[in-house]
């Protein structure tokens, strides 16, 4: 409904419910503000946006005054201008005269308004705040002498990030923004996301690594996508003199201006001195620098030899979930068309292979069904096997915001994760018992008649068998298996089923088990049972880990499918690709990662080409991995750093990082977004896609592309779900597949009206124990996972100054009761042993894991959790059981040192 | 014959040990069980200046300044049916003795309606409240339509007693009409104005009146839960409220299905934490919600979106305390008291340079002159009246020209002052108006929540200017700067604290500009208050060198030989004035 108002003599039509500020902005009239920010609720604190309104006494603030029909407003009257000047004068009187050396020079709203109104710093001479500058945290500096107390940081931290680490403190002239007890941020709940910096209008908050690197106008800002996790945050890399000197946030569709500590402050790995700059060839056990010709000829020669002598299937390739879609496409094309094998896989095998397998069976499509922006709108969010606030931080804030808005949160996780604190029901199930738990919930929902009958009848098939199966899982029985109280199972089931729109978020806790596929099938069952698929704000939402693991899967870097999940065994499909690539293609599905390692150990695979992956830290049973890789005849590793895996290679090829090339990443919500190069690759490092094409050519296959855009053209021609994708369509918001045609707008949520496979398929699943359960020798359960400050094998984050400072070493979480029993105190060294190896690591005594369950993050190579983990595989997805194995824990009296002796 | 001894248990008299008088009386009376004398602790009688107050009923004898030593004699007199004259009130001017309260000038022009029970009942005994008509209004209301009750309050003309004077019935109507599945009633008992103790006395002396008022409001607006936000500096009020709530619950006036009406209501107490700004309604609500007490922009008003986003009616203690009385006497009767636009009475805390300081209740429309001279008994030590500050740190001063101004909401706002919550500070020629303005502005600046620029930064700069002026460093431009800052702060501040903070400065400048100018141009403080502008000097002709002053000087600023004229070192002298009080030769003067 529109409303007619007069601003500065102009008659304007504005939307009912707008503020004066919004109405003015739409009409092109600029009212100065300091505390206003589109991402935050209006606050009315700075009083700069005051206007004169006929009939209203005093000067109301435009940002919090709602328009009424017939309102007459003056935005620059004499009284208004006098007040604004005085307010600016007052702010400047309590502000250091530091513009010349201030990082915000040229980018500061206080400067802008002072200039506009001609306000000089002189005026009120009196006391000036003298707060000591807080330099205590590794990421940014807090100079509250420059703070104008607009409260934007407080509101960002409280309303959007939902952490509330800072607030106004003290009163009167002494008022300042502070963390609890006015101590440093490291003592507060602050997660160093830096989102406060993004909204600060002045120079009070300054990233440390950018200090002194240039003023706003001296730096180039390149829009790109974060290389860390699957949320796919848009950000700007700030570049000066050919170096990335900082990061600022961008308003991308997945992150809306937010970032996490890694995205904001973890980019200094780009220019780390450890970056590989020349090809390396190992001679006599030592790496020697070589030229590209030397190195690539060696690669082509050795792979060619193995192919000739042992056949194409003696070669295996690992593509990279960190590399672009174009590069993943080329890698699988290389392995298939040039080497002639389907032995191509990547780390999705270790994380969401169960999802791809499970959801493909149940729905016909193995991807996140809904979009990230819809999570915040759900009425009930069921989070299981995901420590969302640490593994997908920006997405985690959406869950918290939903809860603040009134949504109900259900959490099922063996550890007391942060989200458990605000959950309606917290279920701490024993690792590996998810099928029982989910069946138990379904039992309650069916028994109490809470399921969506219409949906089940019209949209699904296979319900009867599931009904019969879950009948055997009453809550009391499930309690015995899982350790979760029967009444909690009932409560959670009722809440989930009773929601109008319920969304399930899940990740590794569900997938990385020998029953991973089964777990996913149960989740699919649960969602279909309650009609929570195919509608907005609902869904089955697996949170993909890597920045482009979704894309790597989409591009077919998998042994059984071509790009777009088109089956290798389908002769019609194979035909299409043979024509497109002008070569005969192998028809048998290839080996998965863990199978490749086994095959390498047994001599069935003799050569491997590993791009951007670090199985020596990420795979289960690392000792076994080492043996396997060492047994290869030839190993070539292409990466940006000399990782633990690269160290075992015969040839190392230096690659460009995400900041040094063009291409696309696909995030967890199926959104294809462009990355843009900001700087040149160091030394002689080359872009992965160029390296692959070079190797291909040297092996006799003509592979030339002028640019990644051209590669995408080929992808689009062959991949129906990417059919309508082209670079010019991806400029700002990307596209969510399926996007089959050039004019198709993309797909926010899947399975609308019908599932990809037609009807959703229920699968009856019985509970099975994990492969290895505790026994007398190994009485405790080890579960592994991620942390906020580091990423996966740590190759990037452990080379970032700030991240490494705040969390320099690994640890093992031990429950206090268990610690007491074992005589272990916080900070003690402990020896953790499994059937596969042992690790010496520091103890962190915390109530987060249950008694009898221990947790280790897998980021720290020198205390590698994966030395201990079990490579037992899920039969369908071939994903290893990284989340459950049996260990012994005892206090260790010596200091550090990884003891990776084989066996117990 | 049996007698009842009512001992004032208000904070003022308690600090003068009235509770010890009570204890002594009990102790002595126990020795003689035949005496049929009952002792009761009551609320504030109002005449704080003369406390501890003791009233003997049914003889209606009013005793003041009673100490524990007086107790045995007092008991004797009561037994004999006599009056102990030395403890009666003696008029300071005429010397006349008054036997009972009604004869005392302090009480004559008062109209104690809200305070009717204070001083008469034991505030910790609900039955005494009931015996004087307590909870009858609630009973009556529960049988009416909710809209009827609101109409009655509207008809009475009751306006908010917290200071702003918004029509109470209208506020109740807004809350009643607001949409919401849950509504709240909140009582603002923060009473932050320095020197104000009206609400405190009501809560300590007659807490059930407030509860009954809240109950009636809750019924009328459709709320089932209430909060009393009491400042933590009022432990006695909190204690009495807790007792009252418990008693009311036991008797079924609070809880579920009150008096079988189907109406549910419960009351919670939330103590403040020492912030003046929490007397502002939205800051108060934030504080109840566990957040920092900072105001937020309005609209939406609390009636629409208040506590936890629900419709909330927020009124002051005195406002609620008026409600049972209005229902009992009827709106029309109530509306006969006061003026056309300001109905009823107002409780004031009368303090400052007057003879009779204490708690008074007067009909709206009474003149300031009557309050100060009749009730207040005139200026202390017969000095000249200079001004009276009304409305505390948000209010303004009224000079002698305005002494005949009727005390009601609109007359006061017309002259740039405001009713405020009821603090009245009377000043004589020994008060410096610049210093007064400084005192209040210093308070509001320290209490500023810090959220908005004009209040947080602006009051600080105004304060610095006043400090300069008071120390002889003021400049001509300063007066204009003060006006500009005041203008900007008043028109742009986010809440009432900021919007009214410049008032003391503005009104003192309006009526006493010459005093400011003297400070600036002549570097002199006419009232002899501003320390840096006055020097204490010893007249060598009058000084006999008795060393009394030197011995008592707390800063060791006076030196001199015995029998020789002494000298004051102005750098050490803190202008405390002790030397002047000690010198019996009148040798020390202010230069």
- pLDDT tens by residue, A535-548: 999 999 999 999 99
**Cα separation of A478 and A444, whole Å?**
11
Q: Residues of A with CB below 8 A from B464's CB?
A: 124, 126-127
Best B286, B484, B491 member to test A by mutation, with max A CBs in 10 Å, is B491
The predicted structure's pLDDT at residue B316: 97
Which CATH number is B320's domain given?
3.40.50.11540
Residues with Cβ within 8 Å of B575's Cβ and at least 6 positions away in sequence, in order, are B531, B534, B536
The verdict on a CB contact (< 8 Å) between A61 and B457 is: no
| Out of A79, A91, A127, closest to residue B491 by CB | A79
Q: Which residue range(s) make up the domain with B279?
A: 126-335
Does the CB of A732 have a partner CB in chain B at under 8 Å?
no
Whether B309 and B322 share a structural domain: yes
Interchain contact, A59 vs B491, CB within 8 Å: yes
Given a contact cutoff of 8 angstroms between Cβ atoms, the answer to whether A540 and A511 are in contact is no
- Could you report the per-residue pLDDT of A323-346, keeping only the tens digit for each? 999 999 999 999 999 999 999 999
Contact yes or no for B453 and A87 at CB 8 A: yes
Measured in angstroms, the CA of A449 and the nearest CA of chain B are apart by 29
Residue from the list B294, B464, B491 with its beta carbon closest to the beta carbon of A126? B464
Q: Are A191 and A393 in contact (CB under 8 A)?
A: yes
Residue B262 and residue B146 in contact, taking contact as beta carbons nearer than 8 Å:
no
Name the β-bridge partners of A427: A412
Q: Which chain B residues are closer than 8 Å to A50 by Cβ?
A: 491-492
CA-nearest residue to B443 within chain A is: A172
Whether the CB of B449 is below 8 Å from some CB of chain A: the reply is yes
In a domain, B515, yes or no: yes
Q: How far apart are CA A524 and CA B579, in angstroms?
A: 90
Structure tokens at A877: 């997805």
Tokens 């007249």, residue located: B539
Sign of CA dihedral A139, A142, A146, A148: positive
| Co-location of B88 and B217 in the same domain | no
Asked whether the beta carbons of residue B451 and residue A149 sit closer than 8 angstroms, the reply is: yes
For residues A646, A650, A654 and A657, what is the CA-based torsion angle, rounded to 10 degrees?
-30
Q: B498 or A893, which is more confident?
A: B498
Question: What's the pLDDT score for residue A903?
Answer: 39
Q: How far is A137 from chain B (nearest CA, A)?
A: 26
Residues B455 and B508 in one domain: yes
Q: Which structure tokens are listed for B41?
A: 């602790």
Name A706's Cβ contacts closer than 8 Å, sequence gap at least 6: none
Cβ contacts of A90 on chain B, cutoff 8 Å: 453-454, 457-458, 461
Of A303, A61, A227, residue with least CA distance to A657: A227
CB contact under 8 A, B487 and A82: yes
Residue of B nearest to A148 (CA): B453
Chain A contacts in chain B segment 106-125 (CB below 8 A): none
The pLDDT of A231-250, averaged and rounded, is 97
Of B294, B449, B457, the CB nearest to A94: B457
As a whole number of angstroms, the distance between CA B433 and CA B524 comes to: 13
CA atoms of B330 and B324, how far apart (whole Å): 10
Examine residue B113 and state whether it is found in any structural domain, yes or no: no
Of A44, A46, A175, the CB nearest to B297: A44
B169 and B297 co-located in one domain: yes
Question: Which of B275, B464, B493 is facing A171, going by the closest CB pair?
Answer: B275
The residue assigned the tokens 């080329």 is: A330
Nearest CA-CA distance, residue B492 and chain A, Å: 5
The string of DSSP letters for B166-204 reads -BHHHHHHHHHHS--S--EEEEEE---STT--HHHHHHH
**Chain B residues near residue A86 by CB distance under 8 angstroms:** 454, 458, 484-485, 488
pLDDT tens-digit profile of A822-845? 999 999 999 999 999 999 999 999
Contacts for A710-716 with beta carbons within 8 Å, 24 or more apart?
A711/A326, A711/A329, A711/A330, A712/A325, A712/A326, A712/A664, A714/A329, A714/A580, A715/A325, A715/A326, A715/A329, A715/A555, A715/A563
Q: Is the four-CA dihedral A100, A104, A107, A113 of positive or negative sign?
A: negative
Whether the CB-CB separation of B160 and B316 falls below 8 Å is answered with yes
Written as six digits, the tokens of A157 are 């931290």
Which residues in A lie closer than 8 A to residue B454 (C-beta atoms)? 47, 83, 86-87, 90
Same domain, B484 and B366: no
Q: Which residues of chain B fall short of a pLDDT of 70?
A: 1
- Report the distance separating Cα B208 and Cα B215, nearest Å: 10
Both B424 and B437 in one domain: the answer is no
Q: Does residue A45 sit at the B interface (CB-CB below 8 Å)?
A: yes
In the predicted structure, residue A228 carries a pLDDT above the cut 70: yes
β-pairing verdict for A2-7 and A72-74: parallel
| Nearest C-alpha in A relative to B464 | A126
3 state DSSP class of A879: coil
pLDDT over 80 (residue A896)? no
Q: Is B518 on the interface with A (CB under 8 A)?
A: no
Chain B residues closer than 8 Å to A64 by CB: 297
Q: Does A361 touch chain B (CB under 8 A)?
A: no
CB–CB of A86 and B484 under 8 A? yes
Query: Within its chain, how far is the Cα of B41 from the centroid?
Result: 21
The encoded tokens of residue B512 equal 């006493």
Contact check, Cβ <8 Å, A175/B450: yes
Contacts of B493 in chain A (CB under 8 A): 47
Q: B486 and B465, same structural domain?
A: yes
Centre a 10 Å sphere on the Cβ of residue B149 and count the other Cβ atoms it contains.
Answer: 24
HEC sequence for A509-548: HHHCCCCHHHHHHHHHHHHHHCCCCCCCCCEEEECCCECC
Q: Tokens standing for B107?
A: 């009480």
Cβ–Cβ under 8 Å, residues A689 and A326: yes
B447 shares a domain with B420:
no
Between residues 168 and 187 of chain A, which touch chain B (CB distance below 8 Å)? 168, 170-175
**Chain A residues with beta carbon closer than 8 angstroms to that of B485:** 86
Alpha carbons A725 and A731: distance in angstroms, whole number: 11
pLDDT in tens, A133-147: 999 999 999 999 999
- Domain termination residue (choose one: B496, B522, B548): B522
pLDDT band at A479 (very low <50, low <70, confident <90, very high): very high
Instruction: Point out the residue among A45, A91, A124 whose CB comes nearest to the CB of B451.
Output: A45
Average pLDDT, chain A: 95
Regarding whether B227 and B365 lie in a shared domain, the answer is: no
* Of residues B519, B535, B514, the one with CA closest to residue B580: B535
Find chain A residues with C-beta within 8 A of B452's C-beta. Answer: 44-47
Q: Which residues of B fall within a CB distance of 8 Å from A93?
A: 457, 461
Residues in A 66-125 with any Cβ partner in B closer than 8 A: 66, 79, 82-83, 86-87, 90-91, 93-94, 124
* Cβ atoms of A798 and A792 closer than 8 Å: no
User: What is the distance of C-alpha B446 from the center of its chain?
Assistant: 20
- Asked if B457 lies within 8 A of A173 by C-beta distance, the reply is yes
CB pairs under 8 A between A and B: 105
CA of B274 vs chain A CAs: smallest distance (Å): 11
Provide the domain count of chain B: 5
State the CB neighbour count (10 A cutoff) for residue B201. 28
Return the half-sphere exposure (C-beta side, CA atoms, 13 A cut-off) of residue A800.
28
How far apart are alpha carbons B281 and A687 in whole angstroms? 63
Q: Looking at the domain assignment, is residue B115 inside a domain?
A: no
Residue-level pLDDT at A900: 44
Q: Give, in order, the Cα–Cα distances in Å from A593 to each of A47, A341, A401, A544.
A: 61, 14, 38, 18
The string of pLDDT tens digits covering residues A708-740 is 999 999 999 999 999 999 999 998 889 999 999
CATH of the domain at B543: 3.30.70.20
Q: Which of B484, B494, B499 sits opposite A45 (nearest CB)?
A: B494
Contact residues on chain B for A113, CB-CB shorter than 8 A: none
CB A862 within 8 A of CB A848: no
Residue with tokens 């089931």: A493
Residue finishing a domain among B70, B104, B138: B104
Q: Which of residues 221-280 of B touch A (CB under 8 A)?
A: 275, 277
Residue A692 has pLDDT above 50, yes or no: yes
DSSP one-letter code for B384: -
Whether residues B279 and B142 fall in one domain: yes
Mean local confidence (pLDDT), A209-214: 93
Which residue is closest to B444 within chain A, CA to CA? Answer: A172
- Say if residue B280 is in the same domain as residue B395: no
Inside any domain, residue B227: yes
Using the beta-carbon criterion (under 8 Å), do B494 and A44 form an inter-chain contact?
A: yes
Question: Given CB atoms, is A480 within the 8 Å cutoff of chain B?
Answer: no
Task: Identify the helix (H) or strand (E) that includes residue B244.
Answer: helix B235-250
- pTM above 0.90? yes
B378 and B482 housed in the same domain: no
CB contact, 8 Å: A164 with chain B? no
Nearest CB to B454; choose among A47, A66, A168: A47
pLDDT at A117 over 90: yes
- Answer yes or no: is B117 within a domain: no
Q: What is the pLDDT of residue A895?
A: 66
* Predicted confidence (pLDDT) at residue A658 exceeds the cutoff of 60: yes
Q: What's the confidence (pLDDT) of residue B480?
A: 96
Q: Do A171 and B448 touch (CB under 8 A)?
A: yes
Return the number of other C-beta atoms located less than 10 Å from residue B384's C-beta.
Answer: 10
- Domain termination residue (choose one: B428, B446, B474): B428
Q: How confident is the model at residue A446 (pLDDT cuts 50, 70, 90)?
A: very high
Give the list of residues 6+ apart from residue B580 with CB closer than 8 angstroms, or none. Answer: B536, B588
Query: Residues A240-252, buried b or exposed e (16+ Cβ, 10 A)?
Result: beeebbbbbbbeb
**A87–B491 CB contact, under 8 Å:** no
CA of A49: which chain B residue's CA is closest?
A: B492
Give the pLDDT band (50/70/90) at residue A901. very low
Residue scoring higher pLDDT (A166 or A904): A166
Q: What is the DSSP string of A238-257?
A: EEETTEEEEEEE---TTTTT
Mean of all residue pLDDT scores within chain B: 93
B545 occurs within a structural domain: yes
Mean pLDDT to the nearest integer, A842-862? 95
Which of B484, B487, B492 lies nearest to residue A50, judging by beta carbons? B492
Coil, helix or strand at residue A172: helix
Q: Is residue B13 part of a domain?
A: yes
For residue B46, is it within any domain? yes
d(CA A873, CA A690): 35
Look at residue A899 in the predicted model and tell me its pLDDT. Answer: 47
Q: Is A627 exposed, middle or buried (0-12, 13-18, 19+ CB in 10 A)?
A: middle
The rounded distance, in Å, linking the Cα atoms of B423 and B349 is 5
Whichever domain contains B424, its CATH number is 3.10.20.600
Dist. CA A262–CA A267, nearest whole Å = 7
């Amino acid at each position: 409904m529109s409303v007619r108002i007069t601003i500065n003599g102009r008659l304007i039509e504005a939307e009912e419910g707008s503020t004066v500020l919004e109405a003015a902005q739409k009409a092109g009239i600029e009212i100065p503000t300091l505390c206003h920010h589109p991402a935050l609720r209006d606050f009315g604190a700075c009083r700069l946006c005051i206007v004169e309104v006929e009939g209203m006494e005093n000067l109301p603030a435009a940002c919090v005054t709602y328009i009424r029909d017939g309102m007459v407003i003056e935005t620059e009257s004499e009284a208004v201008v006098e007040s604004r000047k005085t307010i600016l004068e007052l702010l400047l009187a309590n502000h250091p005269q530091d513009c010349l050396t201030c990082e915000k020079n040229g980018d500061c709203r206080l400067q802008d308004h002072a200039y506009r109104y001609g306000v000089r710093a002189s005026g009120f001479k009196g006391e000036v705040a003298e707060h000591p500058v807080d330099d205590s945290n590794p990421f940014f500096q807090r100079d509250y002498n420059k703070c104008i107390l607009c409260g934007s940081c407080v509101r960002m931290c409280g309303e959007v990030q939902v952490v509330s680490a800072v607030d106004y403190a003290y009163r009167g002239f002494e008022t300042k923004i502070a963390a609890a007890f006015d101590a440093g941020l490291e003592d507060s709940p602050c997660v160093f996301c830096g989102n406060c910096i993004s909204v600060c209008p002045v120079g009070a908050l300054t990233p440390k690594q950018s200090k002194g690197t240039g003023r706003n106008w001296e730096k180039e800002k390149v829009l790109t996508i974060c290389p860390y996790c699957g949320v796919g945050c848009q950000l700007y890399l700030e570049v000066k003199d050919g170096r990335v000197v900082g990061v600022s946030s961008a308003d991308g569709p997945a992150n809306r201006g937010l970032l996490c500590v890694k995205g904001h402050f973890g980019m200094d790995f780009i220019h780390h001195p450890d970056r590989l700059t020349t090809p390396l060839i190992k001679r006599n056990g030592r790496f020697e620098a070589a030229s590209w010709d030397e190195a690539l000829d060696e690669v082509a020669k050795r792979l060619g030899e193995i192919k000739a002598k042992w056949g194409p299937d003696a070669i295996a390739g690992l593509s990279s979930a960190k590399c672009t879609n174009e590069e993943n496409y080329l890698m699988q094309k290389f392995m298939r068309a040039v080497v002639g094998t389907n032995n191509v896989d990547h780390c999705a095998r270790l994380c969401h292979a169960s999802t791809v397998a499970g959801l493909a069976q149940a729905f016909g499509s193995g991807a996140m069904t809904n979009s990230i922006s819809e999570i915040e709108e759900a009425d009930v969010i069921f989070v299981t096997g995901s420590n969302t606030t640490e593994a997908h931080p920006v997405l985690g804030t959406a869950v918290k915001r939903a809860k603040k808005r009134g949504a109900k949160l259900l959490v099922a996780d063996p550890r007391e994760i942060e989200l458990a604190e605000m959950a309606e029901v917290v279920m701490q199930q024993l690792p590996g018992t998810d099928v029982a738990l989910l069946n138990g919930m379904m039992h309650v929902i069916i028994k109490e008649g809470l399921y969506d009958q219409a949906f089940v009848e019209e949209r699904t098939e296979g319900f009867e068998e599931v009904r019969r199966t879950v009948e055997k899982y009453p809550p009391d029985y499930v309690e015995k298996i899982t350790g979760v109280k029967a009444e909690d199972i009932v409560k959670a089931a009722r809440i989930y089923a009773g929601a109008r729109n319920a969304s399930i978020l899940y990740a590794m806790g569900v997938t990385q088990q020998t029953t991973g596929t089964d777990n996913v099938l149960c989740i699919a069952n649960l969602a279909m049972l309650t009609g929570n698929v195919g509608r907005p704000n609902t869904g089955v939402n697996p949170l993909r880990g890597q920045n482009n693991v979704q894309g790597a899967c989409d591009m077919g870097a998998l042994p059984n499918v071509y790009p777009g999940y088109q089956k290798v065994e389908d002769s019609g499909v194979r035909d299409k690709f043979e024509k497109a690539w002008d070569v005969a293609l192998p028809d048998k599905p290839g080996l998965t990662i863990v199978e490749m390692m086994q095959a390498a150990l047994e001599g069935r695979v003799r050569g491997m080409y590993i791009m951007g992956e670090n199985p020596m830290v990420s795979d289960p049973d690392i000792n076994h991995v080492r043996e396997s890789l060492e047994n290869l005849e030839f190993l070539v590793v292409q990466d940006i750093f000399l990782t633990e895996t690269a160290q075992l290679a015969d040839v190392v090829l230096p690659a460009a990082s995400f900041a040094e090339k063009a291409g696309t990443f696909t995030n967890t919500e199926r959104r294809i977004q462009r990355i843009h190069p900001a700087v040149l690759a160091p030394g002689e490092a080359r872009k992965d896609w160029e390296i692959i094409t070079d190797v291909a050519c040297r092996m006799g296959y003509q592979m030339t592309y002028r640019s990644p855009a051209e590669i995408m053209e080929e992808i689009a021609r062959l991949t129906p779900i990417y059919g309508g994708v082209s670079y010019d369509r991806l400029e700002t918001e990307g596209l969510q597949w399926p996007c089959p045609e050039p004019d198709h707008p993309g797909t926010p949520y899947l399975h609308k009206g019908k599932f990809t496979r037609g009807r959703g398929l229920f699968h009856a699943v019985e509970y099975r124990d994990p492969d290895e359960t505790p026994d007398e020798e190994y009485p405790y359960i080890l579960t592994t996972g991620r942390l906020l400050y580091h990423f996966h094998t740590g190759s990037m984050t452990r080379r970032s100054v700030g991240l490494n400072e705040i969390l320099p070493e690994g640890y093992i979480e031990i429950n206090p009761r268990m610690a007491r029993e074992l005589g272990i105190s916080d900070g003690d060294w402990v020896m953790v042993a499994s059937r596969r190896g042992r690790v010496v690591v520091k103890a962190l005594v915390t109530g987060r894991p249950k008694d009898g369950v221990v947790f280790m993050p897998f980021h720290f190579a020198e205390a590698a959790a994966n030395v201990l983990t079990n490579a037992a595989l899920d039969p369908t997805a071939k994903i290893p059981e990284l989340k459950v194995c049996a260990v012994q824990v005892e206090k260790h009296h010596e200091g550090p040192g990884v003891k990776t002796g084989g066996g117990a | 014959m049996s007698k009842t001894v009512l001992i004032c248990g208000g904070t003022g008299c308690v600090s003068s040990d009235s509770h010890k008088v009570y204890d002594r009386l009990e102790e002595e009376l126990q020795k003689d069980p035949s005496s049929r004398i009952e002792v009761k602790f009551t609320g504030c009688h109002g005449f704080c200046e003369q406390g501890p107050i003791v009233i003997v009923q049914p003889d209606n004898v009013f005793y003041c300044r009673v100490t524990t030593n007086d107790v045995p004699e007092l008991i004797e007199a009561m037994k004999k049916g006599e009056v102990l004259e030395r403890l009666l009130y003696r008029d300071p001017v005429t010397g006349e003795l008054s036997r009972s309260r009604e004869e005392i000038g302090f009480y004559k022009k008062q109209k104690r309606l809200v305070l009717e029970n204070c001083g008469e009942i034991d505030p910790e005994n609900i039955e005494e409240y009931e015996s004087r008509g307590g909870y009858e209004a609630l009973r009556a209301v529960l049988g009416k339509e909710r809209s009827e009750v609101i109409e009655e309050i509207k008809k009475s003309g009751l306006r908010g007693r917290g200071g702003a004077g918004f029509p109470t019935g209208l506020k109740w109507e807004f809350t009643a009409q607001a949409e919401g599945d849950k509504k709240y009633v909140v009582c603002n008992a923060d009473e932050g104005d320095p020197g104000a103790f009206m609400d405190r006395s009501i809560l300590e002396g007659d807490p059930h009146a407030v509860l009954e008022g809240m109950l009636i409001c809750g019924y009328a607006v459709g709320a089932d839960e209430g909060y009393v936000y009491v400042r933590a500096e009022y432990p006695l009020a909190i204690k009495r409220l807790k007792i009252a709530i418990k008693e009311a619950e036991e008797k079924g006036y609070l809880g579920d299905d009150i008096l079988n009406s189907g109406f549910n209501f419960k009351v919670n107490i939330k103590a403040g934490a020492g912030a003046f700004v929490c007397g502002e309604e939205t800051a108060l609500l934030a504080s109840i919600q566990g957040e920092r007490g900072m105001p937020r922009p309005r609209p939406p008003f609390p009636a629409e979106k208040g506590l936890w986003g629900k419709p909330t009616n927020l009124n002051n203690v005195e406002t609620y305390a008026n409600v049972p009385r209005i229902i009992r006497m009827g709106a029309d009767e109530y509306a006969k008291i006061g003026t056309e636009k300001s109905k009823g009475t107002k409780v004031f805390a009368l303090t400052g340079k007057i003879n009779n300081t204490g708690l008074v209740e007067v009909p709206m429309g009474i003149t300031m002159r009557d309050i100060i001279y009749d009730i207040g008994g005139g200026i202390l030590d017969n000095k000249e009246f200079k001004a009276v500050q009304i409305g505390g740190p948000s209010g303004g001063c009224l000079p002698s020209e305005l002494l005949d101004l009727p005390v009601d909401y609109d007359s006061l706002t017309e002259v740039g002052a405001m009713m405020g919550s009821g603090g009245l500070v009377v000043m004589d020629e020994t008060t410096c108006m610049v210093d007064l303005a400084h005192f209040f502005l210093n308070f509001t600046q320290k209490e500023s929540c810090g959220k908005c620029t004009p209040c947080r930064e602006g009051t600080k700069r105004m304060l610095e200017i006043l400090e300069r002026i008071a120390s002889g460093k003021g400049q001509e431009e300063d007066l204009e700067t003060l006006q500009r800052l005041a203008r900007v702060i008043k028109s742009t501040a986010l809440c009432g604290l900021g919007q009214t903070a410049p008032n003391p400065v503005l009104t003192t400048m309006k009526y006493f500009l010459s005093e400011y100018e003297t400070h600036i141009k002549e570097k002199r403080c006419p009232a002899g208050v501003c320390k840096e502008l006055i020097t204490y000097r010893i007249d060598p002709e009058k000084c006999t060198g008795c060393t009394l002053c030197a011995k008592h000087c707390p800063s060791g600023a006076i030196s001199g030989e015995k029998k020789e004229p002494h000298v004051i070192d102005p750098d050490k002298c803190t202008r405390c004035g002790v030397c002047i009080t000690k010198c019996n030769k009148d040798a020390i003067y202010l230069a």
